[in-house]
Amino acid sequence: MANQVLRLTSLEYDSILKDLIDYVKNKYPDEWNDFLHSNLGMMFLEAVSAVGDNLAFYINQLANELFLPTATQRKAVVNLAKLVGYTPKRGVPATGQLRFYLDSPHDRDVVIPEGLVCEGKDVRVETTTSGVITAGSTEVLVDAIQRDVKEYRFTAEQDGVNEFFVDDEEAYEFEVVDEDGNVYTEVSFFVDSPLNPYVYRVDEVVGGYRLTVNNLTVGRGVYVKAYTTRGSKGNIAGGVIGKILGTIRDTAGNVVGVKVDNLPFSGGEDRESVDEIKKSVWVWSLTQNRLVTEEDYNEYINTIPGVYRGKVKLVQWGCAGNIVDAYICEDSNGNPASASQALKDKVQKELMRMGILNVVVNVQSVTLTQVNITADVKVLPGYATADVLSRVESNIRGLFRELDIGSTLRYSDLYRVMDETEGVDYVEISTPTGSVIPASDTELLAPGGITLNAV
């Protein structure tokens, strides 16, 4: 979303200086008529102009941060979102499987505990289930999640409501327990849970999150676990994890030298960016937290985590009943994939929750059509051929990411993104031979094989 710019004042150094000189000429026509830069009086006028220019700049900056379309600072955008009741989405941890294996079979079962932490380069994961390498076998797959945990201890400074600061912007989930063993539940607003006094609210602030915890006694301890995630950086390829931070034993209690690697992890998402928050707030405000029109549904479905692209049709609307058909594809590490049943169920539940009463939602996968690209690329002298071809392929994939469901891949756009790549002299595209038009408005074009030949 492009930022608009609000100029509350157009005062700048040159215009301020000109106005001051004009003022002096009119006020003191006989006393002061030397306006050369070497004049001592001009030094003061220029200094005042510089101060005025600086003040005008900050006035304009502050004015821009007061309105959502022009705000650029995350703190301002988050606070403006709160005014309409919208809470920016936190990060989502990636999930996958770890492969625990032995070089040779063991004579007893080897237990892989739940909560076992393993790590690779710049990433740490934790098992979410237990597993067993049975006697005589050499490996087992165990579900895992990409996350880390930080623990805090705070002390209530007053009876009732207290605020605590968690200094980690990567936190996505919290566990709050007081020293009496009372477990607190996260709510959006305290009024949402009038029958449960043990609740807390989370607000994003600069540098982390503020936890507002209810029903505390002054001087009592509060223990907080903050689960953090690398978000999209947790979508790691296979073979990245290789170190076990802990001890693994067999059923007799003997330490066993188990090794670990991983299958690819996916599903990790970063917390909402400033532009994403702006878009989400617009959707939130437009629908008043309810989906009514086809436009409402189409705006909202593309904000659901895990959806690469979504499209909604209102099949029937009115007194006879409300029927919505939704077409989606899943986000697989930034690429479109057929939607899993879990994602279909999630989207159906979300659209029914956000829609008006008595709406029937049918969710199905879009038709994914792969488009093969073959082209000859002439690389300019002085550029590394491999680097240029890599950039061309990246730009091609970027073009596909801009396509909506039912959109045409225009031959001119394909040629443009390739020809404008840095280091490219010219390109000759063999396939496709023209624009690619989807067979239906529920079909999404996706990149197939990309073959680039340097000439």
Q: CA–CA separation, 71 vs 273, rounded Å?
A: 13
pLDDT at 127 over 90: yes
Give residue 361's identity as a one-letter amino acid code. Answer: V
pLDDT at 2 over 50: no
CATH architecture of 290-365: 2-Layer Sandwich (3.30)
Residue 320 binned pLDDT confidence (cut-offs 50, 70, 90): low
Give residue 446's identity as a one-letter amino acid code. Answer: A
pLDDT at 371 over 80: yes
The DSSP bridge partners found for residue 259 are 101
Q: CA–CA separation, 88 vs 105, rounded Å?
A: 49
CATH of 149-228, one of 2.30.30, 3.30.200, 3.30.70, 2.60.40: 2.60.40
* Residues with Cβ within 8 Å of residue 20, at least 6 apart in sequence: 45, 48, 49
The DSSP bridge partners found for residue 436 are 409
For the chain, what is the mean pLDDT?
90
Q: CA–CA separation, 449 vs 431, rounded Å?
A: 11
Predicted TM-score (pTM) of this structure: 0.60
- Count of C-beta atoms within a 10 Å radius of residue 212: 14
Q: Please compute, for residue 265, the number of CA atoms within 13 A of its CA located in the half-sphere on the CB side.
A: 35
**pLDDT tens digits for 270-284?**
999 999 999 888 877
**pLDDT tens digits for 394-410?**
899 889 988 999 999 99
What number is the average pLDDT over the span 425-430? 95
* Residues with Cβ within 8 Å of residue 79, at least 6 apart in sequence: none
What number is the average pLDDT over the span 419-447? 94
Token pair 């801009």: residue: 402
- Count of C-beta atoms within a 10 Å radius of residue 178: 19
The DSSP bridge partners found for residue 241 are 120
Looking at per-residue pLDDT, the higher value among 373 and 35 belongs to 373
What number is the average pLDDT over the span 334-341? 90
Residue 9 binned pLDDT confidence (cut-offs 50, 70, 90): low
What number is the average pLDDT over the span 121-148? 93
The H or E element spanning position 43 is helix 40-64
So where are the chain's domains?
13-64, 95-147+231-262, 149-228, 290-365, 370-454
**pLDDT tens digits for 242-259?**
999 999 999 999 999 999
**pLDDT value of position 11:** 79
Strand 95-101 and strand 139-146: pairing?
antiparallel
| Burial (Cβ within 10 Å: 0-12, 13-18, ≥19) of residue 380 | exposed
Sign of CA dihedral 304, 307, 309, 313: negative
CA 294 to the chain's CA centroid: 25
**pLDDT tens digits for 59-72?**
888 888 999 888 99
**pLDDT value of position 286:** 67
Q: CA–CA separation, 83 vs 86, rounded Å?
A: 7
DSSP-derived secondary structure for 177-202 = EETT-PEEEE-SSGGG-TT---EEEE
Residue 103 binned pLDDT confidence (cut-offs 50, 70, 90): very high
**pLDDT value of position 398:** 86
**pLDDT tens digits for 135-150?**
999 999 999 999 999 9
Nearest to 374 by CA among 455, 447, 434, 450: 450
Q: Is the peptide bond before 194 cis (omega within 30 degrees of 0)?
A: no
- Specify the range with the lowest mean pLDDT, choosing from 236-240, 286-290, 346-350, 351-355: 286-290
Q: Please compute, for residue 422, the number of CA atoms within 13 A of its CA located in the half-sphere on the CB side.
A: 5
3-class SS at 253? coil
Tokens of 305: 């985590």
Check if the beta carbon of residue 99 is closer than 8 Å to that of residue 259.
no
